[in-house]
Amino acid sequence: DGGITQSPKYLFRKEGQNVTLSCEQNLNHDAMYWYRQDPGQGLRLIYYSQIVNDFQKGDIAEGYSVSREKKESFPLTVTSAQKNPTAFYLCASSIRGDTQYFGPGTRLTVL
């Protein structure tokens, strides 16, 4: 099956810890994206990557980091510098930037 997967589905973190969220796609898409969604809100772009070994900051990149070493993978690290990390995180991919295909999301809770 082709698709985009995220793991874990639920993640709990203590304050001061870094955590890494996984995003994998086998759609052969060049572009990948990370979004954050807060309750009752739309999506806000954290980082995006249009090609392997290249990525750009989105609207709310502070406190986050990414890497794009492989076309299939775009992991997001939520660092201790992110002041309010509890949120729903969504990963997406696309071919040319038109339609984006989303993963099921990871819900991160900071304890």
Partner 1 sequence: SQQGEEDPQALSIQEGENATMNCSYKTSINNLQWYRQNSGRGLVHLILIRSNEREKHSGRLRVTLDTSKKSSSLLITASRAADTASYFCATAPGGGNKLTFGTGTQLKVEL
Q: Closest by alpha carbon to 34, among 91, 73, 88?
A: 91
- Exactly one of 48, 55, 64, 74 binds partner 1 (CB under 8 A); that residue is 48
The number of helix segments (H) and strand segments (E) in the chain equals: 0, 11
Site for partner 1 in 20-39 (CB under 8 A): 31, 33, 35
The C-alpha atoms of residue 7 and residue 89 are separated, in whole angstroms, by: 10
Binding status of residue 97 toward partner 1 by CB under 8 A: yes
Distance between CA atoms of residues 31 and 111, nearest Å: 33
Both structure tokens of 49: 């990557």
Report whether 104 contacts 9 (CB < 8 A).
Answer: yes
| Closer residue to partner 1, CB minimum distance, 17 or 56 | 56
Interaction between residue 75 and partner 1 (CB under 8 A)? no
Is residue 100 a contact residue for partner 1 (CB under 8 A)? yes
Find the part of the chain contacting partner 1 (CB under 8 A) among 14-22, 61-69, 75-83, 99-107.
99-107
Point out which residues bind partner 1 (CB under 8 A): 6, 31, 33, 35, 40-45, 48, 50, 58, 88, 90, 92, 94, 96-105, 107
